[in-house]
Amino acid sequence: MNGSKILLVDDDVDFCNATTKILESKGYEVVTAYDAREARQRLKKEKPDLIILDIMLPGQDGFSLCSEFKENTDFFEIPILVLTSVSANKEGEKYAELIALYHKADDFAEKPIDSKDLLARVYALITRRKITVSEPTNKKKILIIDDDYDFVRALRVVLEANDYEVQASNTAGGGIRMAVTMYPDLIVMDAMLPDKDGFTVSRELKTNSQTYNIPILIVTTLDKQFKKPDFAQTLANTHKVDEFIPKPIEPEVLLKKIQQYV
């Protein structure tokens, strides 16, 4: 990801400075804008690989700015992460997230955000964009949808050592968009994701004409959450999962499972 450019749009100078340090520590180039007008100027001049956008901006809200960028044919492919302190209401409904997605944001997160979570989201979004513009390879593509960073990291090492191309998302929404974009040869997914359960994701992908034939392996500890462990297997079957695999599982053992499908 070294050399990837990020446009950070937020009127909180302290937040911009702190976030810039986090991103630059991982080799990203960061340019900042503090209002909508400056964001437009920066976007045209810098042509970033990703936009991180706050909702509450001087003069124009981030929702409408997000739609504006996504409706512009010069910039619609640039992923947008809406990152804001606007949170759920007291009933827990995430209206801000729903509005962000309605305005074509690629991902949504609330402030304050853990640096590890931020970097994972940034990596996933920039990687997904690079997939759409990169030259095709003969490697089999594996998509991992899991927010367990240690598991993803360990599995990635094993898969890449065996000549697979690996991409990952830590959210269901991001995983679905990546599946439609990169059309992987297989998906490894947890059942418990931050924004949607993996069973529902499986059903959505299996009923989509673009992704219905992609094998899906659910790898999770969810079976331990039920009094009847077989209930998780039943859920997997009714949601069109190709195989249900309990965690913990060694990456090398999971590799053998994967090789049965691709």
Its domain, for residue 216, covers: 136-259
Same domain, 114 and 142: no
Residue 184, CA atoms < 13 Å, CB-side half-sphere:
27
Same domain, 166 and 189: yes
Same domain, 176 and 237: yes
**In the prediction, which pLDDT does 87 show?**
58
Chain center to CA of 49? 15
Same domain, 143 and 253: yes
The domain boundary, picked from 125, 159, 189, lies at 125
Same domain, 158 and 205: yes
Which residues share a beta bridge with 53?
9, 82
Give per-residue pLDDT as tens, 13-32: 999 999 999 999 999 999 99
Q: Among the ranges 99-103, 146-150, 227-231, which has the highest mean pLDDT value?
A: 146-150
Same domain, 116 and 162: no
> Is the pLDDT reported for residue 88 higher than 50?
no
> Is the pLDDT reported for residue 133 higher than 80?
no
CATH number for the domain including 232? 3.40.50.2300
Q: What average pLDDT does range 167-180 have in this prediction?
A: 85
Name the residue among 119, 42, 106 with its Cα closest to residue 77. 106
Is 109 part of a structural domain of the chain?
Answer: yes
**In the prediction, which pLDDT does 69 show?**
92
73 versus 51: the higher-pLDDT residue is 51
Is 59 part of a structural domain of the chain?
Answer: yes
Quick count: other Cβ atoms within 10 Å of Cβ 208?
Answer: 13
pLDDT band with cut points at 50, 70 and 90 for residue 147: confident
Same domain, 11 and 57: yes
Is 131 part of a structural domain of the chain?
Answer: no
Q: What average pLDDT does range 136-160 have in this prediction?
A: 88
**In the prediction, which pLDDT does 223 show?**
58
pLDDT band with cut points at 50, 70 and 90 for residue 148: confident
Cis link prior to 246 (omega < 30° from 0)?
no
H-state helical runs in the chain: 13-24, 36-46, 62-70, 95-102, 115-133, 149-161, 172-182, 198-206, 230-238, 251-259
Eight-class DSSP state of 184: -
Mean pLDDT (the chain) is 86
Q: Per this entry, what is the length of the chain?
A: 262
The domain boundary, picked from 125, 149, 179, lies at 125
Count the domains in the chain.
2
**In the prediction, which pLDDT does 235 show?**
75
Give per-residue pLDDT as tens, 181-239: 788 999 999 998 888 899 999 999 999 988 999 999 999 887 555 555 566 677 778 88
141 versus 2: the higher-pLDDT residue is 141
Is 130 part of a structural domain of the chain?
Answer: no
Same domain, 112 and 172: no
Same domain, 99 and 167: no
**107-110 and 80-84 as β-strands: parallel, antiparallel, unpaired?**
parallel
pTM for this prediction:
0.58
Whether the Cβ atoms of residue 214 and residue 184 lie closer than 8 Å to each other:
yes
Query: Would you call 7 helix, strand, or coil by DSSP?
Result: strand
Same domain, 149 and 234: yes
The domain boundary, picked from 101, 125, 149, lies at 125
Same domain, 43 and 103: yes
Same domain, 95 and 162: no
**In the prediction, which pLDDT does 135 show?**
54
pLDDT band with cut points at 50, 70 and 90 for residue 1: low
**In the prediction, which pLDDT does 262 show?**
93
Percent pLDDT > 90 in the chain is 53
